[in-house]
Amino acid sequence: MNRSKRDDLDILVERVLRDLVSDQAPPDRVWASIRLELQEGRRSQTKFELLRLLGTEIVALGADIVAGVGIMLTPSVCSCEEGWTERLVLAGHSSPALLHCIHH
Amino acid sequence: MLDDGELVPRIQEGDLDAFEILYHKYKDQLYRTALAITRDRGASEEILQDCFLRAHAHIDRVDGCSSLRPWLHRIIVNLSYNWAAKRRLRLISLEDVYDRVVMGPRSSPERAFEREELIQVLDAAIRCLSMPQRVVVVLFYLQGFSLAEIAHVLDCPVGTVKSRLHNARKALRKRLICDSRVSSEAAYELLSL
């Protein structure tokens, strides 16, 4: 096959391929589906994120409660720890509410 | 039209309007690539949709310094491969497209018939190519990618692309020469359209 024949073939293939699909375009529903899916994905991601945060808070609160109960039930080794509130303060749980309990 | 370098950071920040601009910029050429490979409009629509959903999911990996065209073509070609593998290359003819292609205003019925024969033979020859060869032919002839760009899209050496294109040309030429329906006049007529 000589050079000109090969060039003719190239042109033919290019022409046929382009003619087959030249005026073809995707319908509008394709973008509508993409947009919808992305928005739904975003919504479910937000819900998942909220649930994850809620779960984290619940776990943290549960851990605090367990730690607090543990401290309260531990026998006192220090005479200055007269009540459970003081023990909690000494253990680092010095929230304003606890301080209020201690001083009033 | 905004260039990709401006769109990418906006999309990465969650701007859906910027993503829509990107979609409209590339949708036609990506759809045509999928259509030329699969020859199935419904499949091409699904592939295009998957392509942009994947692009959106992985947009963080893009640096935004270069055009997204090769990257998007890589996704669409991979999805087309997957589709063909699932369907085992069962292809649907686009007879309706031939009607528009072959019926030129100056054509006599005989010439139109011969051109139709030629196009059908060539289209059938393209469909008979192996999937890797067909993908290279579509990217090279339809999308005008260079050999190096095709190698980048397909993630293979340039030599492999050259080899696939060479073998594809050889197969197409053989098929055209062997097919008794194709006359030289028909080929000339098609080229002079």
> B151-163 pLDDT, tens per residue?
999 999 999 999 9
Among B28, B56, B100, select the one facing A25 at the smallest CB separation: B28
Could you tell me the two tokens for B84?
């063909």
**For the segment B128-142, what is each residue's pLDDT rounded down to a tens digit?**
899 999 999 999 999
Domain residue ranges in chain A: 29-103
Compute the nearest-CA separation of B191 from chain A (Å): 7
Nearest-CA neighbor of B92 among B134, B130, B42, B137? B42
**DSSP code string of B177-188:** HH-TT--HHHHH
Chain A CB contacts of B147 under 8 Å are none
ipTM of this model?
0.71
Query: For chain B, which domains are there?
Result: 4-87 (1.10.1740.10), 95-191 (1.10.10.10)
Chain B CB contacts of A23 under 8 Å are 100
Listed in sequence order, the residues at least 6 apart from A8 whose beta carbon sits closer than 8 Å to its beta carbon are: B187, B191
Chain A: residue whose CA lies nearest to B35: A21
Does B89 contact chain A (CB < 8 Å)?
no
* Interchain proximity B122–A13, CB inside 8 Å: yes
> Is pLDDT of B179 > 70?
no
Chain B CB contacts of A31 under 8 Å are 20, 23-24, 27
* Interchain proximity A10–B141, CB inside 8 Å: yes
* Interchain proximity A30–B27, CB inside 8 Å: yes
Task: Give all strands (DSSP E) within B15-92, no chain letters.
Answer: none
* Interchain proximity B173–A9, CB inside 8 Å: yes
**For the segment A6-44, what is each residue's pLDDT rounded down to a tens digit?**
567 888 888 888 888 888 999 999 999 999 999 888 777
Compute the nearest-CA separation of B22 from chain A (Å): 11
Reported as a pLDDT band with limits 50, 70 and 90, residue B86 is confident
Reported as a pLDDT band with limits 50, 70 and 90, residue A73 is confident
What is the mean pLDDT of the segment spanning A61-68?
87
CA B104 to chain CA centroid, Å, is 24
Whole-number Å distance between alpha carbons of B97 and B41: 12
For B187, phi then psi, to 5°, come to -65, -45
Higher-confidence position of B193 and B134: B134
* Interchain proximity B53–A38, CB inside 8 Å: yes
- Name the pTM for this structure: 0.68
Question: Which pLDDT score, from 0 to 100, does residue A27 have?
Answer: 94
